[in-house]
Amino acid sequence: MVTGGVGYLGSHTVVELLNKGYEVSIIDDLSNSRAEVLDAIFKITGKRPEFVEMNLCNKSHVESFFDNHTIDAIIHFAAFKAVGESVEKPLKYYRNNLLSLINLLEVVEERKLDNFVFSSSCSVYGHTEIMPVHEKLPLPEPESPYAHTKQIGEKMVEEVVRVAKVNANVLRYFNPAGAHNSALIGEYPLETPNNLVPVITQTAAGKRSSFTIYGNDYSTPDGTCIRDYIHVVDIARAHVVAIERMMNKKNKSNFELFNLGTGHGNSVLEVINAFEKTNGIKLNYTIGKRRPGDVEKVWADTTLANSELGWKSEFSLDEIMRSAWKWELALNEKIIS
């Protein structure tokens, strides 16, 4: 079961699962995704996963699903994720992100289900001078309601695992970017994107006249925020590894937590330069004020994921920029046609 399975991360993970021979049921409420992604998944894999349109905040609907399905593993992506919006609409984020997780965990506990992957975020690390960040770092006060929902969610999973004897992995993503090489799936938000890479590609495609860099006065080499940008396919493959680790009883404890990143940080300006160099396109942008909730710099210590999961990122920043632009071009042709 993959919640949020027609979203950005979810769809790429579903492709990897189907290619490995798993049967997949997708749960998605289509609040920030499109059902047509199911057709793209079929074109890539030759397989069509089951799709159930459902809001996980409705407990009776969640229970009804499990009444009619035998599930070996759950990957829980479904959540609102825009940092800026969470600052403006905190209750929207607390209600959706936490209630959906509570409903799932209650079913897991009541029905003695196993093998649960929770989609977390590097935003839980907040502002810290310790770089790279590792999984043992104490978590600070969150910088945004979104980050707070991830901190609380991690703790909820840990506490349920303790009493229910469920196997669970918490995966802290850094900054997913790029698209599947087929250019059939990629980042395709219904609303105005908040992530840097789709903003860049939309500007390059002429959908935006320019974009804004939020702050150039941070304590970083070029003054712009630093993030660990990781290819979405790398993240998707890590989920398959995490699921198989638990299903094959190779986990060392029933609660494990891993960073998913490249182990290297790039500034906003470095990402812009990589796009321009890789694709031969000059971007138009302006410098604006800092955005509330943004963290100055963060990149991953991936030692644990590399050694314990046996996983490491494979794609470079240039490959991320190349695939993202290929996806934007394909998307533009689709919309025009």
Task: State the amino acid at position 10 in one-letter form.
Answer: G
Task: Please give the sequence-ordered ranges of beta strands (E in DSSP) within 149-231, or none if there are none.
Answer: 168-173, 175-177, 211-214, 226-227, 229-231
Given the residues 8, 22, 93, 146, the one annotated as active site: 146
* Tally of helices (H runs) and strands (E runs) in the chain: 12, 13
Q: Which two tokens stand for residue 90?
A: 């905190």
Active site residue 146: yes
DSSP 308: I
Q: Which two tokens stand for residue 308?
A: 């314990």
Q: Which two tokens stand for residue 89?
A: 């609409």
| Residues 33, 50: Cα–Cα separation, whole Å | 16
For the chain, the helix, strand and coil percentages under 3-state DSSP, each to the nearest 5: 45, 15, 40
Nearest to 121 by CA among 150, 80, 98: 150
Q: Which residues are catalytic?
A: 146
